Amino acid sequence: MAVDIVIYHNPACGTSRNTLAMIRNAGIEPHVVEYLKTPPSRALLVDLIERAGISPRDLLREKGTPYAELGLGDATLTDDTLLDAMMAHPILINRPLVVSPLGVRLCRPSEAVLDLLPEPQQGAFAKEDGEQVVDSAGQRIA
């Protein structure tokens, strides 16, 4: 059975790499969108935010971005202003965002992706830092 999964991915991000690896550990080859090279349209970004049940501020990334220089910490800024900033500077979009038949989620921490996968893990999985997330039977470690 083919499973359609999309990951909005940044290969320079460890969390994003771990998430992608867990998707593949379930035997699924996702559609990988390197969103810094191919940013989503504003309409798609709004749709993904709504489907994930979060706000634009929840998707806003601070670390390694122009967040502070743009004054995005100002709580009075509107969702439209935050979306404008993300469209102008895609690095402000937090990652990885994963779309599956089971929903849409910002997968931070990376093991949050396990809740979106319709297929079980096919074996043990450890994150890049060595943290074991899935045991040899393919079961999530609590």
Q: Give the active site residues.
A: 13
Task: Please give the structure tokens belonging to residue 107.
Answer: 């997968």
Q: Phi first, then psi: what are they for 131, rounded to 5°?
A: -65, 125
